Amino acid sequence: MSVTATSANLSAEAAPESAIKTMTIMRALNEGLRRAMAESDRVVLMGEDIGKLGGVFRITEGLQAEFGERRVLDTPLAESGIVGTAIGMAMVGFRPVCEIQFDGFVFPAFDQITAQLAKMTNRHEGALSMPVVIRIPYGGHIGAIEHHQESPEAYFTHTPGLRVVSPSTPNDAYWMIQDAINSNDPVIFLEPKGRYWIKGEVNTAERAVPLHASRVVRQGTDVTLVGHGAIVAMLLQAAELAATEGTSIEVVDVRSLSPVDFDPIVASVQKTGRMVYAQEAPGFTSVGSEISATVTERAFYSLEAPVLRVSGWDVPFPPAKIEGAYLPDVDRILEAVDRSLAY
C-alpha cells in the first residue's frame, strides 16, 4: 500500500515545538545514528576514519566519544573486509552500519555486497536475517576527483535481495537512516553528498512517511517531474521557474529506489499526462529507465507525450572543472518540460 504526502505528512503545528529542529542533512544523519545507537546496543558503526575523525564528512562526529571504540570502529582501508566483517556480525545478532568513504570506493566490496550480503537470506531460505546498512555518499556537485563523484545506484537496484534508498531532505535523512537500521534486510543507503550542508526542518517526534514510500513534494497539473536524491531540489527549482511562465509542475521524490513505490508516481502522471525523470547517473539501463518504462506501462492511456529522461551523459564522470557540462541542471530539465508540452 502506498502512502502519499497528503495522507501521511504531519504538520509542524501538530508536533511539539521542541520536536521541530533546523539542521543540515549531515547533522540529521548524525542525530539519526545517535538515536539508533542509544535505542539498541546491537547497532555498531564501522568504516575508515569514522571514529576520532568522525568520517571525511563528519557524519559520525562525536559518536565514538559517546558510545566507545567497541561500537564505533575505525577499520583498515579495506572495503571488502568491512562488508565481510559486517556480514559475520549480522549473523550473530548485531546491526552493523558500514560507511563507504566515497561512492567510487564501494567497488572493492562489490562481490561481498552482491554475491554474499544480498543472497544470504535467500540462501538460508529466510531463516537468517541480514540487518546490514551500507552508507554511501554519492553523486556530484563537490568538485572532487575521479572515484569521488559516482552514481552507482543502478548496480544495487539490479541486485535482488538489497533495499536501496536515498533521502533528499534533512527530515528524510533523520528518519530513513533509523528505518534502514531497523530493517532486517540489507539496505544500501545512498547519501547525496552535494546536499550534506543544506538546512531544513526535522520533526524528531514523528516520521512523515515510511522508508519505502514515494512522496509528492509539490502539487501541479501540467507536467510531473520525478527524481531521487540531490536532483529533487533542482526539480523544485525548475518548478518554481516554470510557474513564472504559467506552467504548473508536480514534483515527486522517489526516495526508495528498490523497492519503488509506484502508486504516487503513476497517480501524478494520470493527472498531468506528462512525465520527465531526472537523475545524475548515466541514462542507459538506469533507475530512471526502469521507472520511466513502468510508468509507461501503467499509465499509457493517460500520457499525452512520451516519458522523457534527463540524465548524466553515458561517459565516465569527468574532471571537476567540467562537471557542470555533465550533470543535469535546471535548464536541461526545463528544456525537457518544453519538449513534453510541445507534443
Write out the catalytic residue numbers. 148
For the chain, count helices (H), then strands (E): 13, 14
Q: What angle do CA 204, 210, 213 make, to 5 degrees?
A: 130
Among candidates 219, 232, 211, 203, which has minimal Cα distance to 3?
A: 211
Q: Spell out where 100-186 has E strands.
A: 133-138, 163-165
Question: Which residue carries 522508508 as its cell?
Answer: 211
Contact 208, 9 (CB under 8 A): yes
Among candidates 296, 157, 326, 169, which has minimal Cα distance to 224?
A: 296
Contact 79, 100 (CB under 8 A): yes
Per DSSP, the residues of 164-191 read EE---SHHHHHHHHHHHHH-SS-EEEEE
Sequence letter at residue 15: A
Beta strand 199-203 with 20-24: parallel, antiparallel or unpaired? antiparallel
Sequence letter at residue 139: G
Q: Taking the alpha carbons of 316, 167, 221, 246 in that order, is the dihedral positive or negative?
A: negative
Among candidates 114, 123, 127, 122, which has minimal Cα distance to 162?
A: 114
Q: What angle do CA 60, 190, 67 make, to 5 degrees?
A: 20
Distance separating alpha carbons of residues 157 and 78, to the nearest angstrom: 23
